[in-house]
């Protein structure tokens, strides 16, 4: 498998060179740019789900090419994220089309999750399907000199990486089911908990990708979600702030499912099907990450235009807390300092009179009235000699 992966990587490298030459010579049409992120953006990624590459549907092949050309013309994209169901049947030829197009037309680093169609419970065992998924992912990673993670080397469908220095965690189904419910084992859950804790230590937002949605976030189907592990995953992510959880699978169309849901501090998004339902052909998100917020814009990558109806700017809690900390400290310091005009007019306390504000002049002390046991009233300004009270108001 190592040698075959090497050959595939060599082919992808050759393909990128040939395509770059064809683009330069004008043999391949290019799409208008998706623009550049606003000044200050620290990372940007394109996000698609349910690409469904297969050999017999030409509109899917053409749509994949056009979207990748749109991304190639854009500036500042650090990676392309594919949220699963990247193929229709998990076949090697479909994977070849997927990564062949990616290498030829966009040549972007790829973060790829596995979906139920990639698993294909009908034709392959779960192990065969996962191995095929990992093989093609690793072969493509080779053209970016990216070292496979330990989990990918072990042919596991879950792994962690980063996009522009921001932590990314990919979860994955480990056993195919006819009802498309994902199996997340206890081993994967333990790994996920440790990865979330490590990611949180960076102080940056955490991006989690899983093809199937969690039940409590998007349960409109009522089946085909994460299944028994849904509550376990929810309990883990709710321990942290600035978590962005993305899923696909539901073939979302315009409407309520496109809305962001923030539940117990976790931001959930469900993506439309990129190349399945013809009403949502080409739809995905462009995600821009700033120091204080994350912005998501729905984009038709085939037609090269944004849809302003579905755009979000999500403030980052960690950034807000960091910004408020200096102000809170300054306010606390200010409250502990006595105003200069009030202290400058007070006579200095005699040595040994710590904690008492007053005077040690014998003449003044002799003039003070004695306090009885029944009253604790303080002397009024009129009771004080003029020379002692001249500095009080």
Distance of CA 40 to the CA centre of its chain: 17
Q: Residue by residue, what is the 3-state secondary structure of the chain? A: CHHHHHHHHHHHHHHHHHHHHHHHHCCCCCCCCCCCCCCCCCEEEEEECCCCECCCCHHHHHHHHHHHHHHHHCCCCCEEEECCCCECCCCHHHHHHHHHHHHHHHCCCEEECCCHHHHCCCCCCHHHHHHHHHHHHHHHHHHHCCCCCHHHHCCCCCEEEEECCEEEEECCCCCCCCCCCCCCCHHHHHHHHHHHHHHHCCCCCEEEECCCCCCCCCCCCCCCCCHHHHHHHHHHHCCCCCEEEEEEEEEECCCHHHCCEEECCEEEEEEECCCCCHHHCCEEEEEEECCCEEEEEEEECCCCEEEEEEEEEEECHHHHHHHHHHHHHHHHHHHCCCCHHHHHCCCCCCCCCCCCCCCCCHHHHHHCCCCCCCCCCCCCHHHCCHHHHCCCC
Quote the tokens at residue 168.
């990314």
Write down the CATH number for the domain with range 32-316: 3.60.21.10
pLDDT digit string, tens, across residues 22-59: 555 455 555 555 566 667 899 999 999 999 998 778 88
Quote the tokens at residue 41.
């953006």
At 378 the pLDDT is 45
pLDDT digit string, tens, across residues 222-238: 556 787 899 999 999 99
How many angstroms separate the most distant Cα atoms in the chain? 108
Q: Rounded mean pLDDT of the chain?
A: 77
The domain segmentation of the chain, as residue ranges, is: 32-316
Cβ-based neighbours of 1, under 8 Å, separated by 6 or more: 131, 135
Q: Say how far apart CA 223 and CA 213 lie, in whole Å.
A: 10
At 126 the pLDDT is 86
Least-confidence region, from 13-22, 72-81, 157-166? 13-22
At 259 the pLDDT is 76
At 319 the pLDDT is 79
At 178 the pLDDT is 74
Cα first-last separation, the chain: 90
Q: Say how far apart CA 256 and CA 260 lie, in whole Å.
A: 9
Question: With a threshold of 0.85, does the pTM exceed it?
Answer: no
pLDDT digit string, tens, across residues 266-303: 999 989 889 776 666 889 999 999 999 999 999 999 99
At 341 the pLDDT is 45
355 has a pLDDT exceeding 50: no
Per the CB < 8 A criterion, the answer to whether 67 and 48 are in contact is yes
Least-confidence region, from 127-141, 241-255, 337-351? 337-351
């Amino acid at each position: 498998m190592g040698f075959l992966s090497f050959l595939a990587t060599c082919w992808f490298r050759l393909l990128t060179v040939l395509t770059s030459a064809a683009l330069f010579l004008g043999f391949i049409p290019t799409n208008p740019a998706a623009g550049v992120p606003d000044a200050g953006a620290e990372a940007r990624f394109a996000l698609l789900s349910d690409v469904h590459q297969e050999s017999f549907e030409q509109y899917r092949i053409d749509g994949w090419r056009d979207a990748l050309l749109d991304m190639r013309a854009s500036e500042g994209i650090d990676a392309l994220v594919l949220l699963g169901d990247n193929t229709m049947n998990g076949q090697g030829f479909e994977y070849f089309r997927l990564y062949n197009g990616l290498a030829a037309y966009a040549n972007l680093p790829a973060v790829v999750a596995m979906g139920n169609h990639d698993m294909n419970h009908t034709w392959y065992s779960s192990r065969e399907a996962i191995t095929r998924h990992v093989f093609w992912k690793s072969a493509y990673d080779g053209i970016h000199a990216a070292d496979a993670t330990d989990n990918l080397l072990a042919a596991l469908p879950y792994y962690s990486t980063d996009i522009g220095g921001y932590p990314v965690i990919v979860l994955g189904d480990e056993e195919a089911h006819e009802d498309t419910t994902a199996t997340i084992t206890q081993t994967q859950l333990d790994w996920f908990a440790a990865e979330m804790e490590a990611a949180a230590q960076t102080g940056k937002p955490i991006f989690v990708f899983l093809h199937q949605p969690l039940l409590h976030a998007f349960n409109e189907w009522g089946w085909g979600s994460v299944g028994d592990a849904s509550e376990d995953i929810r309990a883990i992510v709710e321990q942290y702030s600035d978590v962005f959880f993305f899923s696909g699978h539901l073939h979302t169309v315009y409407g309520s499912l496109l809305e962001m849901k923030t539940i117990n501090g976790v931001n959930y998004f469900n993506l439309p099907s990129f190349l399945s339902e013809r009403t949502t052909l080409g739809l995905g998100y462009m995600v821009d990450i700033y120091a204080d917020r994350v912005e998501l814009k729905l984009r038709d990558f085939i037609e090269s235009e944004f849809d302003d109806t579905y755009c979000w700017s999500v403030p980052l809690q960690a950034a807000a807390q960091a910004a408020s900390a200096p102000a809170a400290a300054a306010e606390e310091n200010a409250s502990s300092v006595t105003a200069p005009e009030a202290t400058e007019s007070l006579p200095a306390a005699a040595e040994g009179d710590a904690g008492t504000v007053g005077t040690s002049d014998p003449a003044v002390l002799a003039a003070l009235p004695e306090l009885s046991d029944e009253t604790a009233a303080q002397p009024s300004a009129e009771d004080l000699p003029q020379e002692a009270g001249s500095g009080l108001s």
